[in-house]
Amino acid sequence: MADEPIAGARPAADPPNERPASRRGRQGEVRVFGNWCKGCGLCIAFCPRDVFVAGADGHPLVVYPERCTACMWCVEHCPDLAITVEPAPEPKERRDAA
């Protein structure tokens, strides 16, 4: 069972379907706590922006952080509470304009 691939997960070597970054830029800072994650693959399979890719061990890697819209799907559905999403820092151009 441990050697079976996670349904819907893509290996890190295969790029996921091309999704552009959010039009508003990165909205969230995604972190996966590897020591809590059991590699269930829910975040990889269901992230609407394909932020995650399965590593060689089946655990999620945050490969495309610029795509994160901070929808919190991964945080709300992670059975191990191993994912956090914090608001992304505001781009420097916006801070300077304020």
Residue 76's domain is classified under what CATH number? 3.30.70.20
Total tally of structural domains belonging to the chain:
1
Length of the chain, in residues: 98
Least confident range from 11-15, 33-37, 59-63, 69-73: namely: 11-15
3-state secondary structure of 62: strand
Residues 16, 10 contacting (CB under 8 angstroms): yes
The stretch 44-71 carries a mean pLDDT of 96
- In a domain, residue 19? The reply is no
Asked whether residue 13 is assigned to any structural domain, the reply reads: no
Cα–Cα distance measured from residue 51 to residue 27, given in angstroms and rounded to the nearest whole number: 12
Instruction: Look at residue 82 and tell me if it is in a domain.
Output: yes
The pLDDT > 70 percentage for the chain reads 66
Alpha-carbon 5 to chain mean position? 18
Residue 14 belongs to a domain: no
Decide if 6 is inside a domain.
no
pLDDT grade, residue 2 (50/70/90)? very low
Domain that holds residue 45: 28-97
Average pLDDT over residues 26-33: 91
